[in-house]
């Protein structure tokens, strides 16, 4: 299994509070991704990174920001959480660009009340 961990694994927070989710990899892969999983939508890309300090938006990036200061860590921040951001968040990594598979972390279940 690819060495990917996510923290926390579960979090309950209140509307309007900031939240940061962490993804940590031990594979030294260049590409990292954040997805959210919601019923009826599958997984949707929030943001991704193609190197340290290099990030770009995915299809559902509004309300989210990311940072990558080290190869191994990719942080997802909800500046002011809303109930619509209640979801399961998955981090993924990929060794290189092109048509290569991604490896997924175990997920973080976030509930915004």
Give the total of residues touching other proteins (CB under 8 A): 27
Q: How far is the CB of 107 from other proteins (least distance, A)?
A: 5
d(CA 32, CA 24): 10
Q: Tokens at residue 78, please?
A: 């909800």
- Compare residues 10 and 15 and give the one whose CB is closer to other proteins: 10
Contact pick of 41, 69, 70, 84 for other proteins (by CB under 8 A): 41
Between residues 49 and 85, which has the closer beta carbon with respect to other proteins?
49
* Smallest separation (angstroms) from other proteins to the CB of 66: 13
**96 is a site residue for other proteins (CB under 8 A):** yes
Please give the residue ranges that form the binding site for other proteins (CB under 8 A). Answer: 31, 33, 40-45, 48, 50, 56, 58, 90, 92, 94, 96-107
């Amino acid at each position: 299994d690819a060495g990917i961990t996510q923290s926390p694994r579960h979090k309950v927070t209140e509307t309007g509070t900031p939240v940061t989710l962490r993804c940590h990899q031990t594979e030294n892969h260049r590409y990292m991704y954040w997805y959210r999983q919601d019923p009826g939508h599958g997984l949707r890309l929030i943001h991704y990174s193609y190197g340290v300090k290099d990030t770009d938006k995915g299809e559902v990036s509004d309300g989210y920001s990311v940072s990558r200061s080290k190869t191994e860590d990719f942080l997802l921040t909800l500046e002011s959480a809303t109930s619509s951001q209640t979801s399961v968040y998955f981090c993924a990594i990929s060794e290189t660009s092109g048509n290569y598979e991604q490896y997924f972390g175990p997920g973080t279940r976030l509930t915004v009340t």
